[in-house]
């Protein structure tokens, strides 16, 4: 009986102790936020403390530290997220104020995070303003590609996709190559962006990028072939047309000579004078 009473007492005391610890942590977080951000954090420390406690009771005590890391807008963003509050807290816990400003407070970025998960949040934070259009266009492939490059090459990739390699049909292949080879691939594409704009060089690179990146194959040679062959082919086509035209004229002259006899000298001179003019 005594053991039962001890266990019961512990069960009653534990929640109360946990609630006290939660209240203390919430108040400390509220005080830190007010000290750093003033009125931007809330109307008063007691009011902010109560709101933080409410979120912690709903989503777990880890929410307190996440809100503390997330800055003045963090609490409101978690409350606004509603049923997705736990996911919002996870973004704040990992990315802090950048997670609040670059993901949770941006509707398109927030939707992409909810759709694709934590990897999306990471690239949205790492590549602010760059990731959203690429992710919207390429989905998970774009997320993997952006996750493999630094911010500078993230900007380069976005510019390439709007310029030299903007063909929608090549987007999945290119993102796959960047996801696999990371900054090396983007550096190569950027350094050769005028060459790959023709299309044939880009096709060759995407089919087998490693030889081009390590220097065993020359992208300029591929681009040169794609330009020279059509030009040479065009020259021969023009010559063929001229030769056919000359042949038709000769056949016509022979036919007329056979029917009417050789042309008279004055007729030949008259025709020659036309060409001299």
pLDDT, tens digit, 9 for 90 and up, residues 129-177: 999 999 999 999 999 999 999 999 999 999 998 876 766 557 788 999 9
pLDDT reported for residue 10: 44
Q: Is residue 200's pLDDT more than 90? A: no
- Cβ proximity of 180 and 149 under 8 Å: no
Alpha carbon separation from 226 to 192, 201, 240 (Å, rounded): 15, 8, 22
pTM for this prediction:
0.72
Burial of 120-133, coded b for 16+ CB within 10 Å and e otherwise, reads bbbbbbbbbebbbe
- Provide mean pLDDT across the span 223-237: 47
Q: Is residue 264's pLDDT more than 90? A: no
Selection from 58, 52, 44 nearest residue 25 by Cα: 52
Selection from 40, 157, 15, 171 nearest residue 101 by Cα: 40
- Cβ proximity of 145 and 138 under 8 Å: yes
pLDDT reported for residue 150: 98
Residue located via tokens 């987007």: 171
Give the end-to-end CA distance of the chain in Å, rounded to a whole number. Answer: 130
pLDDT reported for residue 274: 45
Residue 19's pLDDT band, with cuts at 50, 70 and 90, is confident
Cα 33 to Cα 42: distance, rounded to the nearest angstrom: 9
Q: What is the pLDDT of residues 38-47, one digit of tens each?
A: 989 889 999 9
Q: Provide the sign of the torsion angle of the four alpha carbons 37, 40, 46, 50, taken in this order.
A: negative
Q: Provide the sign of the torsion angle of the four alpha carbons 213, 217, 223, 226, taken in this order.
A: negative
- Provide mean pLDDT across the span 73-100: 96
pLDDT reported for residue 69: 96
Take residue 99 and report the two structure tokens written for it: 């997670």
Residue 265's pLDDT band, with cuts at 50, 70 and 90, is low
Q: Is residue 250's pLDDT more than 80? A: no
pLDDT reported for residue 205: 92
Take residue 85 and report the two structure tokens written for it: 């509050």
Residue 199's pLDDT band, with cuts at 50, 70 and 90, is confident
pLDDT reported for residue 27: 95
Selection from 239, 248, 182 nearest residue 213 by Cα: 182
Residue located via tokens 């020359």: 218
Take residue 190 and report the two structure tokens written for it: 């950027």
Residue 89's pLDDT band, with cuts at 50, 70 and 90, is very high
- Provide mean pLDDT across the span 211-224: 87
Q: Is residue 272's pLDDT more than 70? A: no
């Amino acid at each position: 009986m005594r053991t039962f009473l001890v266990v019961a007492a512990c069960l009653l005391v534990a929640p109360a102790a946990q609630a006290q610890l939660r209240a203390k942590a919430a108040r400390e977080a509220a005080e830190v936020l007010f000290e750093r951000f003033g009125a931007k954090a809330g109307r008063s420390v007691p009011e902010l403390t109560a709101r933080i406690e409410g979120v912690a009771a709903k989503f777990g005590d880890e929410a307190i530290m996440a809100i503390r890391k997330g800055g003045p807008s963090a609490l409101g963003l978690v409350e606004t997220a509603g049923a997705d509050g736990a996911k919002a807290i996870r973004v704040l816990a990992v990315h802090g104020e950048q997670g609040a400003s670059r993901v949770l407070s941006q509707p398109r970025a927030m939707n992409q995070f909810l759709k694709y998960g934590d990897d999306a949040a990471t690239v949205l934070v790492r590549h602010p303003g760059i990731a959203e259009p690429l992710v919207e266009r390429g989905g998970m492939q774009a997320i993997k590609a952006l996750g493999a490059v630094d911010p500078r090459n993230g900007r380069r990739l976005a510019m390439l996709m709007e310029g030299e390699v903007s063909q929608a049909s090549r987007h999945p292949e290119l993102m796959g190559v960047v996801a696999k080879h990371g900054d090396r691939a983007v550096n190569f594409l950027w350094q050769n962006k005028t060459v790959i704009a023709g299309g044939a060089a880009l096709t060759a690179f995407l089919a087998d990028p490693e030889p081009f990146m390590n220097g065993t194959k020359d992208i300029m040679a591929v681009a040169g072939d794609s330009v020279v062959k059509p030009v040479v082919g065009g020259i021969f086509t023009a010559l063929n047309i001229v030769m056919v035209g000359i042949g038709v004229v000769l056949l016509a002259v022979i036919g007329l000579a056979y029917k009417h006899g050789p042309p008279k000298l004055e007729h030949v001179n008259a025709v020659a004078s036309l060409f001299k003019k």
